[in-house]
Structure 1
Amino acid sequence: MKRLRHQTRPLIAFTASALLFWALPNISHADSSSLAVLSNAPEASINRNTSPSAISSPAEITPFVYTNQEADLWERIRAGYAIPDLSNKLVDNQLTWYSTRTDYILRTVQRGSRYLYHVVEELEKRGMPSELALLPFIESAFNPQAISTAKASGMWQFMAATGKDFNLKQNMFKDDRRGVLDSTDAALNYLERLYGMFGDWQLALAAYNWGEGSVQRAIKKQQALGLPVDFDSMSALMPVETRNYLPKLQAVKNIIGHPEQFNIALPKLENQPYFVTVEKTRDIDVRVAAQLAELPMDEFTALNPQFNRPVITGNSNTKILLPTDNATLFKENLSKWQGPLSSWSTYTVAKTEKIESLAHKLGHKPEFIREVNMIPASMLVKAGSTILVPKSEKAPDQDISPEIADKAQLVIEKGIATRQLHYRVGKKDNLNSIAQRYKVSVADLKNWNNLKRDNVSAGQNLQIQVPVLAKSRHVTVASHSRQAHRNKAVASSGKTLVANARSGRKPHG
């Protein structure tokens, strides 16, 4: 049997901020007056946006209550299987793929062990089939930092537009598409809504991957031809990714259901919460939070992947997740801590400018500002953007305001190509006249030449970066011309150029 290539493995990427946290200076003090409230259960208090009319009534979803608390979590998941099984050649192909990759299965299970209990709990509260807890296996390999080539993000792989529809905030400081609590709540809301629309879990899953509008159009096409409207019957109308989506879930469901048949020994998962929530109202550096909880940074980030920057902004809705024992340690250590919790503040950019100019103005190295804010080289920061900067030693210990934290955006654009000139200062020259002559700013002149004052001396040599717009256009045209010539040569030889791209899941509708 020819092995089917795995079509939709996500492009796994860790945010630069997760790596940056390791490089930031260690902070030895925090403010013990900032009290954290330790909750007793890992529940999210999140408003659900799905309209009641879009979700099936309680009579349509029969609640399942698991009572054997002695069994492990795998038994609990198996007992709640409720989606009709799919059996066809595509399922067989996916079973072959997964069952011959034991290491991949076990790595994914290890990652998912942090989150599975919470997902199963939420499914049971809603009366939803427990095999839906295995869906992140297909979407992201249970990696909340996963990013697809289509920019779908998180454990449940939400596109930006769909995430906004389900109240998943995406700003400079956090991306709730990656948050364990928020994204799980949104994903189950979405699946509930889809089941309410189609009355069929298999079609609901197809719509989760393909978009509800696409499934609705396929149903109308089948009905017009007098054909059945189940997943198997309509699979020929679906793109390859969606056609294989449910077979992948079925394959994983079969392996988890009977691992011994595939010579796989699943690790035992305790039927109890892995984490609890800690509510907080003050800003806290990520490194400080991990230090107080006595957790390695990678474990803290795995539970709290939604935070984009090295500071977690605080308000009444801010929660961090910690293993139960570490949450207790966090509370104890916090009560003994002295000094500031956070070392970061914000700066609003008044006009579009280069990082070098901003850094000179703020008294920091350009490389530092660029790294902290994840700004690529040769990019301009647009007016109105918010950047993260260290707190001044003279400034009061104030948190970032909720308004800034909620609305902060960093907008960048590609800078204009420049070339360097060397200029010898004349007797009548000053910085202002030189800046006007070359259409640059005095701040740039000072930054390029490490000048602390506005004075220059006759005979002094200055470096000036001047735009080279005409040259850039010439290079671009020449480049396109060479590519066109190459394409023509390839075409004449009978060869074909193919670009591959994964479409990703479209926003619903």
Structure 2
Amino acid sequence: MPAFRNSLFFALAIGLGCSGAANAARTDKFQPLYQQMDAASQRYREAQVQLQNGDDTAMARMSKALEDIEDLAQQCLKQKGCEPTRVITTYEILLKEQGMAPEVTAQGETGADPDHMISPVVANSPEAARTMQLLRNDHAFDQMVQMNEPVQAGIREWLTTQRAFLIDAWENYQYMRYLMYPEYEKAGLPEALLFGIMAKESGGKVHAVSRAGASGPLQFMYGTGMRFGLGKDSSGFDTRFDPQYAARANAAYINERFRELNRNLEYTVAAYNGGEGRAARLYAASGGQSFWSPEAYGQLPPETRDYVPMVIAAAWLFLHPKQYGLEFPKIDTTPDQFTLARDTSINELTICLGNGGSRDGWFRVLRNLNPRYEPGATIFAGTVLRAPKRVTALYKNNCTQGPRAELASTLMRANKYIVPAYAASPNNPVDASAPLAGAQASVARQSATSRKKPRDYRVRRGDSLMAIAREHSCNLAALARENRIKGPDYALRPGQRLKLKSCEE
């Protein structure tokens, strides 16, 4: 039973003893709150059934329903006259259904461990108790963190120089959780381990690529990814960048190492970074000694000696943020999808959506949830994109038509490499909106009509097919067909020569 739930349960129980008989008028006053509690409970049960029927998105709805119940319970406790009986009954039933109800001692106190305060996402998961037990392994994990200086140093690093990075990783994970966590759940693995690996590997940026070529949110090398079902699909998309497929492959890899290394957490994490062969040899030669002994830990390369404690530290902070004064933001990540009403791109969507309640806007979220599309690549009308529910509403309001949609489209057509004919000098300012006059206008028109269009183009680093099409006034689909470039990502390579014959038509 998560400690937060225990403390809430205990507070409600205390309220019961102090409430006395409820006044009928007061009961009517709080009837809307009780109705909201019943509705949230019903949403939780419906999502639970959907999850059992294979709907992976139901996990987010269950979390949201429990979060609403907790908020309503806190409101009840703060208001005089609210009946805690109504609240505690609903809450207790849900907890018992999941086997998470608190144990009560003979003195009437809950058996919560005050040192095990956990993050909101873990507290809201029906698998929280099992996850905690898997990772703690009868408090062995606790002792390893409390008594192990490399892990302590990792916690210190996450809480100081890497705090902002950790919080960003947590936010990125929240939006992808409904895709990633079910893969770990099916494999019987703890969610905190998934987060710890992802935080250290990529910070939750699905398009991350290392200097060595490791790619995706969980940084698979191509060969290793191929062993676990990752690689280029029929469209040419590299599934190492897909958060769901990457989590599935990662879970398979971790379980394979667990079987090989007698479920030793540290050696398994070391294998993920430093190579399974090296980890297996060290484990076999250790003779049962601790991973942290000089004979084992001291033989690892510096990168792996840093990696293992940092992963464990991130997993620990995922479970115990309050213990360290770490506050993860409360965000609504309810998953949804929308169908594009017009051709667009991730960049254009980011502009027209605006911040819309998000600190950093929606670029990273859209990229992570729709990894097949490059930021500037055209995504055609009719395409279905994954997004949080809030973004769906923003899209309908701001991106299908109207001034924000037109502004975004105008900005996307702008080309930073073209200098306008009316470019002003400091001593001779020109109104860019004014028409060109006299000889200047004549020269500009003559230049525009007589300039011969190039027949081909050599791709430069950073180019996208959409930008090239705009620069040369080409139809994107025709340009792609002419050069046999497949969508939806329209991958290019520096130095590639493109034919521009279709642009002359």
TM-score by length of 1: 0.49
- TM-score, normalised via structure 2 length: 0.49
